[in-house]
Structure 1
Amino acid sequence: MKKKILFTSMILVGLLNAIELKVGASPVPHAQILEVVKDELKEKGVELIIVPFTDYVTPNLALNDGAIDANYFQHLPYMEKMIKDRGLKIKEIAKIHIEPLGIYSKRFKSLEGLKDGARVAIPNDPTNASRALILLHNEGIIKLKDPNNLACTTLDIVDNPKKIKIVQIEAPLLPRMLGDVDLAVINGNYAFQAGLSHKNALALEDERSAYANIIAISENTSPQKMQALQKLIKAIQSYKIATFIYKKYQGEVIPVFKIDKAAK
């Protein structure tokens, strides 16, 4: 009985002394994944506070300003571009998953049926626009000067046999544009939120994509916060979370970390 009381007391003391960790995240799938590890982290002395963001700019500014301790919403090329443009002092600490970019259409059942002069919507932020152009190149719709250039733009298109018209739209709005364009290149998380299945995509990125979603932190992270962050990463890069991702998202989201089945 005394041992039980002592154990309970130790847990309560641990909770009272928990390190608070604020992590900015997009609602889907990032915040959902973080929710799964909340209780586990609490038992390990980390109070995880999930701060939702619905855009691609504010989370990095908040991280740079110290308003949050980490963020989980973006891929590395996007973060690197923002660091270059804004002089941010942030860095990657872990790769978690990829949300395959897909080509969707309400008008065509295959890319072979695409007509001349078709309107194709892609994301308007620079890194996801480049990503979309590379996918269009890989599918033979356009030809880029260098398809390995992760900073390519529409100016790098050297051949456009079907004379498609590319329209750049804010990424979250792309699913709503499907009825107004011939094709839309949509990020996996926004496709999932809109009820679009990767099984209905006319083309998808594969796991070799350079666009794995990451956890980012400030370059000025304290040793205490770093310990808490390492616990967060260990909890996420686990068999439990890999299984959760596969079951919940059914291929719309794919873990990229190595799974330690012995730790399940």
Structure 2
Amino acid sequence: MKFVKTLTALLTALVLSVGSLQAAQKLIVGATAIPHAEILEFVKPIVAKEGLDLDIKVFSDYIQPNVQLVSKELDANYFQYRPFLNDYNRARGTNLVPIVPVHVEPFVAYSTKITAIDQIAEGATVAIPNDPVNGGRGLLLLQKVGLLKLNGKPELETPEDPLPTPKDIVDNPKQLKIVELESAMLPRALSQVDLAALNGNYVLEAKLDVSKSLFIERGQDGKNIWGEYLVTRPEDKDRPEIAILAKALNSDATRDFIKTRYQGQIYPAF
């Protein structure tokens, strides 16, 4: 009789355990490593309390997180701001949607060869990202520090505004050589160029000191144009699992984590 009771108890525990596993909802979210995946790791135990198993897939580029979201290998991603998302949707004929902004990263002018913008020499080589949006933001930064003059608006007023390309350069007084490189490669190319316009996440990944940037464009425009968003497919935007994650990402706890962990190198966007 004792054996039967023990066996019954074990079977009951197993059934409860299996039931619990079945009840947990899994959400696969793509992200770049720093700070996006780190922030997702922070909220992982928070959403687990609401029955959500967060599976974080880390990427080293800006293309695959959207490609895999469209192909349904991911349920959501978190790595991009709205100008980048809008450009991707236009170029690919997709309609991925932003859910909530989480943080804002600086965009910086960085050099290992000079210590001030006015030291840049005639004919110097300046690197910017090779994608249309981050490259355009890089050109706007170069205009802001007085190295170039561009045709068009000096700043984006909405996330839908077009960004400049090298063809929009109308004045290049120092005859700078503008080279376009993949964003992830730019920190490693600093020794080969005189100046680079860098995305904040790759500055952090490369363990560069943001405070040593020659110029910091903080992206805090009050409109969240440069806020980094949780993004999903339109048919999934009202999924309870997406709502649970969005709530956690916009929680007081996450705001405090961003402020404490990154010490002003990135900023909450909510």
Per-residue CA shift, 1:23-77, capped at 9, x if unaligned?
Answer: 1111111111000111111111111111111111111111111111100011111
Moved beyond 4 Å, runs of 4+: 9-15
Alignment-derived partner of residue 98 in structure 1: 104
Distance 2:262 2:61 in 1: 21
Alignment-derived partner of residue 4 in structure 1: none
- 1:163 pairs with 2:197: no
Distance 1:252 1:173 in 2: 20
3-state SS in 2 of match to 1:220: helix
1:106: how far off? 1.0
- 1:197–1:252: 8 Å Cα contact kept in structure 2? no
Structure 1 vs Structure 2 CA RMSD: 1.9
Distance 1:150 1:192 in 2: 27
Distance 1:214 1:175 in 2: 24
Aligned sequence identity (%): 38
Alignment-derived partner of residue 158 in structure 2: none
User: CA 1:222–1:158 in 2, change beyond 3 Å: closer, same or farther?
Assistant: closer
1:12: how far off? 8.8
1:222: how far off? 7.2
Distance 1:244 1:203 in 2: 26
- 1:176 pairs with 2:182: no
Distance 2:20 2:171 in 1: 62
- 1:248 pairs with 2:250: no
What TM-score, normalized by structure 1, do the two folds share?
Answer: 0.88
- 1:171–1:187: 8 Å Cα contact kept in structure 2? yes
Give the counterpart of 1:82 among 88, 106, 128: 88
- 1:199 pairs with 2:211: yes
What TM-score, normalized by structure 2, do the two folds share?
Answer: 0.86
1:104: how far off? 0.5
- 1:74–1:214: 8 Å Cα contact kept in structure 2? yes
Q: Which amino acid aligns with 1:210?
A: I
- 1:120–1:182: 8 Å Cα contact kept in structure 2? yes
Q: Which amino acid aligns with 1:152?
A: P
- 1:210 pairs with 2:192: no
1:150: how far off? 3.7
Per-residue CA shift, 1:98-121, capped at 9, x if unaligned?
Answer: 111100111111111111111101
Q: Which amino acid aligns with 1:232?
A: L
**Structure possessing the higher radius of gyration over alpha carbons:** 2
- 1:83–1:90: 8 Å Cα contact kept in structure 2? yes
1:192: how far off? 0.8
